[in-house]
Amino acid sequence: MRNRNYISIFFDDEVPLLQAVRKLRESNEIITDVLSPFPVHGLDEALSIKRSRIPVVGFIFGAIGAILAFGFQAWVFTVSYPLIIGGKPFFAAPAFIPITLEVTVLFAGLSMVAAMLIRSKLKPDIRFVPVDKRITDDRFVILVEAADAKTTLMRVKSVLSGIQTIEIR
């Protein structure tokens, strides 16, 4: 037990993981994080993770893209340099729709990915070290906050007595 302020509980399947999460939350332990090799169905609910607002970001930026694209085309052909093209009016709205759609999608898509990377603090980093190398393979880990490692370890062990864990440390 080095000087750590959390305890890791290892599983090799998501079913005991979910049971453990529910039990730990019932006994008021603070779960700092749950790590898994794939998105576990039902985990969001068990951890009561609120639905992400990334779609809102996408909507706002998409709307900005739409206004920018449509406005720019309209400005170019009515104010900046009006040209008669194919006998169409200067403000040829139907012809501006395709580019407006494309720019909307581009803005919405890029902004959502950016939001995801920023919120999850994901960035290229050579020095990154994972908690366990097998998390991306077949290990599921619960990290529990522990002010005092020893007593929390005892407590967690008793809470999870009936559940199939690989290791608790």
Partner 1 sequence: MLQSPLRPPLIEGNKTYRSITSDILNPMMNKAGKYWYLGMTISGLAMLFGVFMIFWTVWQGIGTWGENRTVGWAFEITTFVWWIGIGHAGTFISAILLLFRQKWRNSINRSAEAMTIFAVICAALFPLIHLGRPLLTFFIFPYPNTRGLWVNFNSPLVWDVFAISTYFTISLVFWYVGLIPDIGTVRDKIKKGLKKNIYNFLSFGWKGSARDWHRHEVTSIMLAAIATPLVLSVHSIVSMDFASSIIPGWHTTIFPPYFVAGAIFSGFAMVQTLLIITRKAMGLEDFITPSHIENMNKILIATGSIVALAYMTEMFMAWYSGVEYEHYAFMNRATGPYWWAYLIMITCNVVSSQLLWIKKLRTSLAFTFFLSIVINIGMWFERFVIIVTSLHRDYLTSSWTMYKPTIVEFGLLIGTLGIFFTAFLLFIRIFPVISISEVKSVLKISGEKQHKKDLSHEK
Partner 2 sequence: MDEQFNFKKQYRNILLIVMAACLLVLLAAILISRPGASRIWANVLLNNQFFMGLSLGAAFFLAVHRVALSGWHTVLQRLPEAMTTFLPIAFILMLLIYFGMHHLYSWTNNDVTDKVMEGKKAWLNVPFFFIRLVIYFTGWIVLTRMMRKNSSALMTSSDIKYHNRRKLFAGLFLVFYAITVSSSSWDWIMSLDAHWYSTIFGWYVLIGMFVTSLAFITLLIWLLKRLGYLKYIRPDHIHDMAILLFCFSIFWTYQWFAQYELIWYGHLPEETSYYITRLKDFKVLFFVNLGINFIVPFFGLITVNSKRQLGWVAFIAAIVLIGHWIDYWLMIMPAAGGDKAGIGVLEICMTIVYACVFIFIVLRSLSTGPLVVKNDPFLEESLNYES
Q: Which residues bind partner 1 (CB under 8 A)?
A: 12, 14, 33-41, 43-44, 47, 49, 51-52, 54-55, 58, 62, 72-73, 76-77, 80-81, 83, 85-86, 88, 92, 95-96, 98-99, 101-103, 105-106, 108-110, 112-113, 115-117, 119-128, 130-131, 133-138
User: Which of 47, 29, 32 has the alpha carbon at shortest distance from 151?
Assistant: 29
What is the smallest separation between the CB atom of 82 and partner 1, expressed in angstroms? 11
Report how far residue 137's alpha carbon sits from residue 12's, in angstroms, rounded to the nearest whole number.
10
Q: Does 166 bind partner 2 (CB under 8 A)?
A: no
Residue among 30, 60, 63, 97 that touches partner 2 (CB under 8 A): 97
Q: Does 51 bind partner 2 (CB under 8 A)?
A: yes
Report how far residue 129's alpha carbon sits from residue 136's, in angstroms, rounded to the nearest whole number.
12
Report how far residue 149's alpha carbon sits from residue 30's, in angstroms, rounded to the nearest whole number.
13
Alpha helices in 76-169 (DSSP H): 93-119, 149-159
Q: Which span (94-102, 129-137, 151-159, 160-168) binds partner 2, by CB under 8 A?
A: 94-102
User: Which of 23, 3, 15 has the alpha carbon at shortest distance from 155?
Assistant: 23
Q: What does 150 interact with, of partner 2, partner 1, none (CB < 5 to 8 A by kind)?
A: none
